[in-house]
Structure 1
Amino acid sequence: MEPLIVLIAVTVVIFIAGAAGVQRLRPWPVALRGGLAAMFMLTGTVHFVYLRTELIGMVPPALPYPGLIVTITGVLEWAGALGLLWRPTVLWASCGLSLLLIVMFPANLYIALNGLYTHPEDELIPRTLMQILFLSVSLAIWRYYLRHRSVRKHGGKFGASR
């Protein structure tokens, strides 16, 4: 539940700052980028502290080296979060994070279907709905910047601030 709270809270704060006159934060995709980046910084961090043992337990037994998998996915989440914050890498970061969410979803299914969850939000329906939301946000960012990249290259109104 914490990742969802962070996503919403940071997105709202950035959106309000943009509405209050901070020009660089004004476009709605910037607020989504900030919220998603904060969420992935949080989830990437717990790959190394606090929930590491639980995350290793989420890796389906068919996959080798669960500790290494958790480490790699944590680093990828951090890299994606940082990539969302740097305009030239937004497309790559949002695409990569979308793929990461899809690839990691079987681990969510595994814990839900095998009764390994420790919180109500880890059950199948809440976890699936959160994953759909996270994926939707990531894909919305990717689609927006994909559609507007040619405008930016040609010096249109979607320049460096977006």
Structure 2
Amino acid sequence: MATMTAAQKRAQAKAEYDAFLAECPSRLLLDRISDKWVTLTVSALGGGGSPQPGTSHATGPRPMRYSELSRRLAGVSQKMLTQTLRSLERDGLVTRTATPTVPVTVTYELTDLGRSLLQLVRGIKGWAETHMDDVLAHRAEHDARAS
């Protein structure tokens, strides 16, 4: 049996990622990106949502300050937004830039990896917004039958 280098072992392991297997590390990533606040934060940083005042369309990806993100993400607590941004930064999806002003200006921006996730997130968010009435109707129908 031929021996494999460490690089070959990593390449083989990467080729064998299968989220259906309990021990697959890709499950951790699926768990992260399926979180509501992650989805909404990535979408907000990607310029998703309603058009900005004075424009006829939503903007593209751009840096945002913490306070701007907090206002955009209605209902997010300071703790949850901080945890979400830290996890996205750790995973390489977001960069944090501190500018030495008084007070310090901190902005968050999607990385290339984060922008690669953006289209999927926009699709899921759009699907949820488009089909919410259908889902609510099906829930009501199901609950009426169950009673």
Indicate whether the TM-score tops 0.5.
no
Higher relative contact order (CA 8 A, sep 6+): 1
Per the normalisation by structure 1, the TM-score is 0.27
Greater percentage in strand: 2
Provide the TM-score with structure 2 as the length reference: 0.29
